[in-house]
Amino acid sequence: MGADFVSETENVLGIYHLPYNPQRPVVCLDEKVYYLLSTPHGTIAQRAGQSEKIDYEYKRQGTCNLFVMIEPKAGFRHVVVRQQRTALDYALALKWLVDEGYRECEEIWLIQDNLNTHRASALYRAFEPAEAERIMRRIRWIYTPKHASWLNMAEIEIGVFERQCLARRIESRAELEQQVAALEMERNQAKAKINWQFTCEQARVTLQRLYPKLAGFEELS
């Protein structure tokens, strides 16, 4: 870590504190793998008034990948459920973002982690060159520093979905999509926003050890 980490961190923090501009929405994107699990023996019978109990034994039914996109200042989010997390799946999530989520805006400022699939090249693997370029030109690509995924506000939204929706056994992709869509609609209708408080000034104190030291440089006169 060094000057690159510092500059990338302050770039993201600076963007978070810009005035809201609906023509240039700041959207955070992150991913989560979800393990589909069924309960072969079902629930355990309980007396009236007691909470339902599920048998401890489970069976794996594969995985799905959630692409979570949130515009924190507008209180809007969308979750794309895919079977895998390939470059194609990522490209399709971006196409939704450009063509359906933010069709009317000028440019989407997309904040995301430095994953190997999170590159404009994924668009060229999924679409014809002209289509890939069309989507790419609508996006301003912004990355959190390596080892600093906590700067991505989509992680906060994922935490909400984990607590309110995903902390139970879901055995099929169809059921997962239904559960995720229901919570997404509920939170969008409430316009649930994320009030980000961490600033560049605080980073210079909290992360002081990561900032390059200028010892050895003489003051210019």
pLDDT, tens only, 146-180:
888 899 999 999 999 999 999 888 989 999 999 99
In a domain, 214, yes or no: no
Q: What is the mean pLDDT of the segment spanning 118-135? A: 95
Residue 217 pLDDT more than 80? no
In a domain, 47, yes or no: no
In a domain, 127, yes or no: yes
In a domain, 219, yes or no: no
- 156: CATH: 3.30.420.10
Dihedral sign, CA of 95, 100, 103, 107? negative
In a domain, 46, yes or no: no
In a domain, 216, yes or no: no
Q: What is the pLDDT of residue 1?
A: 61
Strand partners, 30: 68
Could you tell me the residue range of the domain that residue 187 belongs to?
3-39+55-209
Q: What is the pLDDT of residue 221?
A: 45
Confidence at 210, pLDDT banded by 50, 70, 90: confident
CB atoms within 10 A of CB 43: 10
Tally of domains in the chain? 1
In a domain, 106, yes or no: yes
- Structure tokens, 170: 């879901």
Task: Indicate the SS3 state at residue 181.
Answer: helix
In a domain, 50, yes or no: no
